[in-house]
């Protein structure tokens, strides 16, 4: 099973191999209130993610990382 997991270079989060590098997704969605407890994204983030540029995604990932600290 470990062969399907890799560590994200940007966030240091373990994630499934098929998840792109410009996503904080860990492959396990767990919504608690309005945020995913796994990646810290809001419903709005999830809705807009595919429409954002790669640069905007990476910036938002950094914000999400800081918000979770």
Residue 58's nearest CA partner among 27, 20, 26 is 20
pLDDT in tens, 17-68: 555 678 888 778 888 898 988 889 999 998 999 899 999 999 999 999 888 7
DSSP output for 13-48 = -EEETTS-TT----S---EETTEETTT--BHHHHHH
pTM assigned to the model: 0.66
């Amino acid at each position: 099973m470990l062969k399907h997991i890799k560590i994200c270079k940007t966030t240091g989060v373990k994630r499934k191999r098929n998840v792109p590098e410009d996503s904080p997704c860990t492959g396990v969605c767990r919504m608690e209130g309005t945020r995913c407890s796994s990646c810290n994204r809001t419903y709005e983030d999830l809705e807009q993610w595919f429409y954002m540029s790669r640069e905007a995604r990476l910036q938002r990932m950094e914000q999400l990382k800081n918000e979770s600290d």
